[in-house]
Chain A
Amino acid sequence: MSAGTNKIDVTVTDIVPLNDLVTRFKFERSDGELLPTFSGGAHTVVEMKDGEVSRLNPYSLMSDPNDRTAYTISVRRDEEGRGGSLFMHRNVKVGDRMTISYPVNLFALDLRAKKHLMIAGGIGITPFLSQIRQLDYANGHFELHYACRNRALGSYVDYLTSAHPNDVHIYFDEMKQAIDLENLLDGQPLGTHIYVCGPAGMINWVRDTAEKLGWPREAVHFEEFLAPQSGKPFQVELAASNKTIEVGEHQSLLEAIEAAGVDAPYLCRGGACGQCETNVVDYDGEILHRDHWLEDDEKQSGKKIMPCVSRFEGKILVLDR
Chain B
Amino acid sequence: MSTFEFPPSITSRPVWGKLEPRAGKSHLMIADAEGAEALLKLAQADGSLMTKAHIMYFPGETGDTYIGKLEELAPAQLYIGPSYEAAVPRLRRTLAGAHMGLQVYLTGTESLMGQAMREATDAGIPHTAIQTEHRGSVARRMQCVHCKGITENVMTDPFVCSHCGLNLFVRDHYSRRHAAFQGVCVDAEDPGNVPPPVELYS
Contacts and interface: CB of A to CB of B under 8 A. Distances in A.
B43 interface: no
Nearest to B124: A191
B129 A187 contact: no
A303 interface: no
A211 B103 CA distance: 12
A165 interface: no
Contacts of A212: 23
Contacts of A201: none
- Main secondary structure on A side of the interface with B: loop
A214 B102 contact: yes
Given A186-B25, A216-B129, A113 B124 contact: yes
A243 interface: no
B100, B102, B125, B126 pick with most chain A CB within 10 angstroms:
B100
Contacts of B24: 213-214
B183 to A, nearest CB: 28
Interface residues of A, number: 20
Nearest to B100: A188
13 contacts: A114-B124, A185-B100, A186-B101, A188-B100, A190-B98, A191-B124, A213-B24, A213-B25, A213-B101, A214-B22, A214-B103, A215-B101, A217-B129
Interface of A: 112-114, 185-192, 211-219
B123 interface: yes
- Main secondary structure on B side of the interface with A: loop
A189 B125 CA distance: 11
A191 B125 contact: yes
Given A186-B101, A215-B100, 13 more contacts: A112-B124, A112-B126, A114-B124, A186-B25, A189-B99, A190-B96, A190-B125, A191-B100, A213-B25, A214-B101, A216-B129, A218-B128, A219-B100
B25 A214 contact: yes
Nearest to A187: B99
Interface in B65-107: 95-96, 98-103
A216 B129 CA distance: 6
B23 A192 contact: no
A216 B123 CA distance: 14
A218 B120 CA distance: 15
Contacts of A192: 100, 124
Contacts of B103: 214
Contacts of A218: 126, 128-129
Contacts of A211: 23
A283 B98 CA distance: 53
Interface residues of B, number: 18
Contacts of B25: 186, 213-214
Contacts of A191: 100, 123-125
A215 B99 CA distance: 10
A252 B95 CA distance: 50
Interface string B155-197: 0000000000000000000000000000000000000000000
A248 B99 CA distance: 52
The 7 closest A-B pairs by CB, nearest first: A191-B124, A216-B129, A214-B24, A218-B126, A214-B101, A188-B100, A114-B124
A215 B104 CA distance: 11
A202 B96 CA distance: 31
A216 B23 contact: no
A186 B98 CA distance: 11
A213 B23 contact: yes
A37 to B, nearest CB: 26
Contacts of A113: 124
Nearest to A189: B99
A213 B100 contact: yes
A86 B191 CA distance: 77
Contacts of B129: 216-219
A114 B95 CA distance: 13
A213 B96 CA distance: 19
Contacts of A189: 99-100, 124
A219 to B, nearest CB: 6
Interface in B111-136: 123-126, 128-129
Nearest to B122: A191
A219 B123 CA distance: 13
B24, B101, B103, B125 pick with most chain A CB within 10 angstroms:
B101
